[in-house]
Structure formats: structure tokens, C-alpha cells
Chains A and B, each alone.
Chain A
């Protein structure tokens, strides 16, 4: 995706907000800055799938818990919009920090996860980041990842998907400690872009890994 903010040119990320609380939707709309354009809103699973198919936004801000559908909430919306996953990115929003909610929606295909207590600036940055194809990790999600993948770095012999590399572990740790991407980059003497690459790689592993421990971890938390 080419719409990077470095160019400075005014651009508008087309956003759909999916949340069943009208008050929260309007609050979120007010929080998003000028770089975003809310093209649609939805309150249920069915509405969301229809609105997303119709407006084809770049980013969908998706509440994890939604009424309607088969009861799958945000996960179901992503599954219902699977055909658009190439052009539309999903950013999960939740008041719940329960592992099962978060990781389930990530594994369904969301590009990131933030809690609803995030600041206005924070959510705008997150939307831009997701629109650029990067992943957004909150400290808590990083904590989940470390918990799930274990904190020991990967051996070369390991399946690439099943472990985090030493560098990815560092990045996850720093994010869990509350560092922003910029701070992580500064800390590790790497560019922000590299941090984003690492985070995306972790996200991919989280989505694709069938690692034994991850499965066990998920089963313990009733994810699978």
C-alpha cells in the first residue's frame, strides 16, 4: 500500500466502524482525526458484512463482541468478509482483555487488537498503521503472544512458524513493557519499518502457527 503518511499529502483512509453501541461509535468517530473518513457504520454481524461488502473500506474497526449472526461476533464478520481480506484490514477493538476473545479474532485474520480505552491519537495511529498493512499490538496482546509462544527464542531446527525469533521476542517484550513502535525502534537501533516487519511476522505466526504449545495454550483458554 502506498498511502504512507511520510509523503505529507492529505489523504483519507476509508474506515467502517462496527460496534453495537451507538454512543461508542459516535465517540470513536469524533476521536479519529482528519486522516480518516468514516464511510459506514454497523451494529450487528449481518449489517457489518453488508456494509463492508458495499463500501469496501481500507480499515474496519471491529468490536469483538457483536450481536447477530451465529454468535461469533467479530470473528464471524471477518469470516464473512474473507473475500475482501486482501484489500480490507480489520483492527479489533474490545473492552474485554480475555485471551480467548483477542486471540480468536486475531487468528480469524484481524491485523491488530487495541482496547477501547485507547486514546484518540492512539486509535488514529493504529488505523493508519493497519491501513499501511502493518500490525498493531497492544501491550496486552504482546503479553498473550509471549505467553502462547513461550519466552525462549527459536532454535534453527524449529519450524519457523512455531517459535519467535530472538529479535521478535525482543520486540514483543518491549511492546509488552509499554513501548511504542518508535521507542522500540530507538531501543533496538532499528528503523520503525523493521519493527513493523517484525510485528507483522509475529502476527502471521500467531495466525498460522499450529504449534503444539500454542494449541495447548489455546485449549486451556478454551479458544479452539
Chain B
């Protein structure tokens, strides 16, 4: 029945003599390559038709790779399965009018093919003779048996209306090729007619063709720019677009002029040109306000679309983050700590989304401290407020500082209760981090000696990297102070030696009401 329906697509094969045209064609038609090549060579002697045909196929037929890429890029058409799924046998009889019988892949090649040889043949006087043999076999073999008759009839009739309806049904992919083929076919027919002595009114036909061609170019251009403008505003090939538009316009104008002025004496042409320019000017004057209004509307709509996109992005973000969190909060309404934790985490996320400066360097010390604070906040559900002044590049030593600060924050969140305040100040001389909580404080005397958290993770770590850690604990809370002098600053905290009497005292004396006084080897609270 439909043995030859599953025809491989027409692509240039990689097994090639010159450009893979012949072997591709042979694959497609299911003929031996040898004969195709022989036929092609023979056709070359028929007024060079074979040469032209070969060149035409070379430029128009994609290689296998290109074809695969193109097909991959285009998502399956929604109607493709509906068209190709029903068994071809059943729909075959209705092929001429319904057209769904041949698979989508094969048939465009069929409809694309017939005009091709004819068009190519137009360059030589033997075009007419060359066309039909090549034109009909594909159509005939596409649908074998019963279907060959209707298919052949369609190919022979070549009725434009039928063609249009068919290729419309097939989603326009080959529309341009078909149009071009039809045009070239027409040219060929005219040339043949002249060959046989029929008087063709070229004086009328050429301007008409020019007008049609120009209009087609301009319209295609309009269509493309509109689509590009609506999809995205990158108008990379706008210059090319203008050139095409101008070319189309020039063609149309020239065509109209020649047609209107008849035989084409220059004087008449100029007069006609003047008249038409005057008319056009008048029309433009009248239509300009509408044009401007339309343009403005278009711009408004465009702006609206941009806003819409932005809104959609925000909505998506809110949905992914805030709404999810709110849903979670509702489900955990019983647990205050969970609710606080969720709210804080969401707040942080939203803040960073809204306010983070894209220009700000990520991966610097301040960001690291904030990230660590966020981690602690998530783990313990206690708010950790971070204030940073200045910033520094991350080094191994700074990483140690961050880790020590993290340990201190963990202790503060675990034992302090309430908000943990973190202050980081980085200057050329040194970097300091203060971690303060408002917990009940802890009595260092009562902390067992085997508790290594603070000793190792905070004090020891800071010392190993040339910094210091100081812990002050009182009834009103505990503050851990970490200081890391810059690598080139000579030993110790250069800043305390600065003009900062207050801070020096903070570090060392701190009598006040500090219960356990200055502790350099504190232990974590239990």
C-alpha cells in the first residue's frame, strides 16, 4: 500500500563527491546514487540545466547536521501528531483536499521540489522539457498505488489556490520556497511562450512583477520587525531591514511609474513621479496624526508589556518565597521559635533580593559574616543583627576570624537568648568583630575545664592566626571581641594603639559591673 511513504528527508549527505547533493537526492528518492549522478551529468549537457539544478540544491538543501539542528530548535507543532498519527492508508483517498495523508516530513519536500527544477531550468532554453520529468516523479512515488493518481493530478494542475491551501495547512514552513518556485515557473512559462513566438506583453508584466516583488519584500520586512519588536527589542539587523524596506519600496515605485507612464518616456515619468509625490504628501499629511497616535499606543503597549514582565517576575519570586513561607508559618503557628525562624529567614531572603547592590563585591568579609550569621539564625531561631563598617578581602586568616565569630554567635544564640548583635569593623590596620548577647552571662569559675568550645574554637583559633579573642561576661550579657591585625601591621592590634582611648579600655579594663572581669580563657556557658 504505502510502502514509500516513510521517505528520508531531503538533506545533503556526508557521503559526497562535491557537495553531497546527488547522494542526498538518491537517499531521498530511493534511487541508486550512480544513476542520480549520471542523470545529473547528462542534465549538465542539456543547456547547463543540471549545473543550475545542482547549484540550486546545493544552496537550498541543508546538510544533515543543519537539518537536525533546525528540527531540534523548533518544538513539535501541536498539530503534527494529529496529522501524522492516523494510518496513512485511511486518509489517502482524501489526500487532495484534506492533505494529511503523507507524513509532514516527506511531503513538504514534494511540494517544494516540483518548482525547483523548473525554476532552475528557466536559465536555459530547455527548461520546459526538463521540468516535468523531475517534477512529477517525486509526487508520483510519494504516495504509491491508488494515491498516485490524485497526487499526480495535483502536481499537474498546479493550481495556486490548491497549493496555497495545502501549504497553509502545513504551517507555512516552505511557503517562501513555494512562492519563489511558482514565480520562477511563471518566468519559465513566459520564456517558453516567447520561444514559440507568442507575443507576451513584457512591458506590462515586468512592472507588475516588480510591484509584486517589492510589496512582498516590504511586507515580509514589516512582519519580521513587528515580531522582533514584540518578542524582544534587540534590533540587531535593523539596518538590513531598512535596506530591504527601501529596496521593496523602490521596486514598487519604479513598477508603478513604468506601468502608469506606459511606454516610459522620461518626461512623462517625471511628471507622474511629481504628481504621485504630491499625492503621497497630501495623504501623509492627513494620516500623520493617526500614524503618530498608533505609534504612541504601540509604545505604551510595549512599556506595559515590560511592566507586565517585571510584575510577573516579582509575582514568581513572591510565590516561590514569601507565599511558601507564609504557608509554612500557618502550619507551624504553634511553635513560636519556628515561626520566628521562618520569618527571619524569609525577611533576610527578601531583603537581599530587594536591596542587595549588584555592584557590590560578593565573597568579601562582610558578606561572609552575614552569611554565617544567617546560618546561625536559621539553626537556632534567634535573631542575629549584623552591622558592618568597611570590608576586607577574604584570606585564610579572615576565614579563621569568620569561623571564630561563628562559634561565638552559636554560643550567644544557644545561651544568650534574645537578639545577638554582631558588629564588624574593618580598617586598613585591623579587623574587629564583636558578638554581643543579652543573656544571663556565665560564671567562668563554674565552667568545667574540659569544655573546649571557646578555648579552642575561638581563642585558640584567633591566636594561631595572630589575632586575639577577648570575652567579657556580666549579668547583662556577654560580649566576645575578636581582633585580627592586618598582616603587614606590626604585631598586636594596631587600632587600640590609635587615638581610641575608649576602645582600649573596653578591651582591657572593663571593671564596671563585670562579674567575672576580663577573661582571656573563658569557657562556654553550659
Q: Are B421 and A186 in contact (CB under 8 A)?
A: no
Q: Which of B383, B502, B510 has the most CB of A within 10 A?
A: B502
When A98-B355, A177-B434, A179-B436 are in contact, do A143 and B423 touch as well, CB less than 8 Å?
yes
Q: Which of B351, B355, B389, B479 has the most CB of A within 10 A?
A: B389
Q: Mark B349-363, 1 if CB is under 8 A from A, else 0.
A: 001000100000000
Q: Are B387 and A142 in contact (CB under 8 A)?
A: yes
Q: Are B500 and A176 in contact (CB under 8 A)?
A: no
Q: Are A176 and B389 in contact (CB under 8 A)?
A: yes
Say yes or no: is A159 at the interface (Cβ < 8 Å to chain B): no
Q: Are B501 and A166 in contact (CB under 8 A)?
A: yes
Say yes or no: is B297 at the interface (Cβ < 8 Å to chain A): no
B473 to chain A, nearest CB (A): 14
Residues of A within 8 A of B419 (CB): 178
Which of A147, A153, A169, A187 lies in contact with B506, CB distance below 8 A? Answer: A187
Residues of A within 8 A of B476 (CB): 183
Residues of B within 8 A of A140 (CB): 385, 387
Q: Are A170 and B425 in contact (CB under 8 A)?
A: no
A186 to B390, alpha carbons, bound, how many Å? 27
Please report the total number of A residues contacting B with Cβ < 8 Å: 27
A182 to chain B, nearest CB (A): 9
Say yes or no: is A85 at the interface (Cβ < 8 Å to chain B): no
Residues of A within 8 A of B502 (CB): 166-167, 169-170, 173-174, 187-188
A167 to B506, alpha carbons, bound, how many Å? 13
Q: Are A170 and B503 in contact (CB under 8 A)?
A: yes
Q: Are B436 and A178 in contact (CB under 8 A)?
A: yes
Say yes or no: is B513 at the interface (Cβ < 8 Å to chain A): yes
A173 to B389, alpha carbons, bound, how many Å? 10
Residues of B within 8 A of A6 (CB): none
Q: Which of B391-438 contact A (CB under 8 A)?
A: 419, 421, 423, 425, 427, 434, 436
When A178-B423, A186-B512 are in contact, do A146 and B389 touch as well, CB less than 8 Å?
yes
A136 to chain B, nearest CB (A): 16
Residues of B within 8 A of A146 (CB): 389, 425
Residues of B within 8 A of A96 (CB): 355
Residues of A within 8 A of B425 (CB): 146, 151, 173, 176
Q: Are A173 and B421 in contact (CB under 8 A)?
A: no
Q: Are A153 and B423 in contact (CB under 8 A)?
A: no
Which of A142, A151, A187 lies in contact with B390, CB distance below 8 A? Answer: A151
A178 to B513, alpha carbons, bound, how many Å? 17
Say yes or no: is B499 at the interface (Cβ < 8 Å to chain A): yes
Q: Which of B352-387 contact A (CB under 8 A)?
A: 355, 383, 385, 387
Which of B355, B388, B500, B512 lies in contact with A153, CB distance below 8 A? Answer: B500
Q: Are A176 and B387 in contact (CB under 8 A)?
A: yes
A139 to B427, alpha carbons, bound, how many Å? 19
Q: Are B500 and A187 in contact (CB under 8 A)?
A: no
Excluding A97-B351, A143-B389, A151-B390, 10 further A-B contacts by CB distance (< 8 Å) are A142-B387, A147-B389, A166-B501, A169-B502, A170-B503, A178-B385, A178-B434, A183-B476, A187-B506, A188-B502
Interface residues of A (CB under 8 A from B): 96-98, 117, 139-140, 142-143, 146-147, 151-153, 166-167, 169-170, 173-174, 176-179, 183, 186-188
Return 13 A-B CB contacts under 8 Å, by A number: A96-B355, A97-B351, A142-B387, A146-B389, A152-B499, A166-B501, A169-B502, A170-B500, A170-B502, A170-B503, A176-B389, A178-B421, A187-B512
